[in-house]
Amino acid sequence: MKITFHGQSCFEIEHENHRLVIDPFLTGNPVAKAKPGDIKADYILLTHGHGDHVGDTVGIAKNNNATVIAPFELATWLEWQGVKAYGMSTGGGYSFDFGHVKYTQAFHGSGFVTEDREILYLGPASGILLTLGDKTIYHAGDTALFSDMKLIGMNKKIDLACLPIGDNFTMGPEDALIAAEWVGAKQVIPMHYNTFPVIAQDGHAFAKELEEKGIKGTVLEAGESITL
């Protein structure tokens, strides 16, 4: 499968005849090279309701007639915006035609700030365990380090983990190194960093420290891809 990074926490995945996108924040993302109209997707997967993760979901979903998979409250709100949505909750899993999705815990907020200066609660923040064929990807979403990460890789071997390292809003590099070990990831891509000055980090230094622990670290710039 081909996995393309679009900056912040957005990944586009091409697997067999399916195209998925996770947390499609493109408009307003200063490092993204792709535009919403460039994205072709059958499904959009969301971790939580913050604007830098919901991003261009509504437009991409309508342009592609795509189904959005999201925490239940967020899925319900998106249905009110006129898109097809499938709601899930923390700890729940479901098999779709492209593969299996399970929502995990994440320690973070989840709300949408409106132009009227209101904050809409959109359910708990989550991570995603995504199994496609014989490969499993763990997209941690926005989260702090938490000890139950040790359980996430207990029943599933994690081929690739996408972990935030930006600090301030999520765990920083030091905690992400621990998370990588706890989930038993074979390979880690750092995310949610260097999009804005407040979350500036050295991704290559993080990858080097991963390698010292026997974990493959892969740094992707926006628009770059890997094959898993």
Residue by residue, pLDDT tens for the chain (228 residues) are 999 999 999 999 999 999 999 999 999 999 999 999 999 999 999 999 999 999 999 999 999 999 999 999 999 999 999 999 999 999 999 999 999 999 999 999 999 888 888 999 999 999 999 999 999 999 999 999 999 999 998 888 999 999 999 999 999 999 999 999 999 999 999 999 999 999 999 999 999 999 999 999 999 999 999 999
pLDDT digits (tens, 9 = 90+) for 139-158: 999 999 999 999 998 888 99
86 contacts 79 by C-beta, under 8 angstroms? no
- pLDDT of 143 reads 98
**Which domains, and CATH codes, for the chain?**
2-227 (3.60.15.10)
Q: Is the dihedral of CA 71, 73, 74, 76 positive or negative?
A: positive
Global pTM reads 0.97
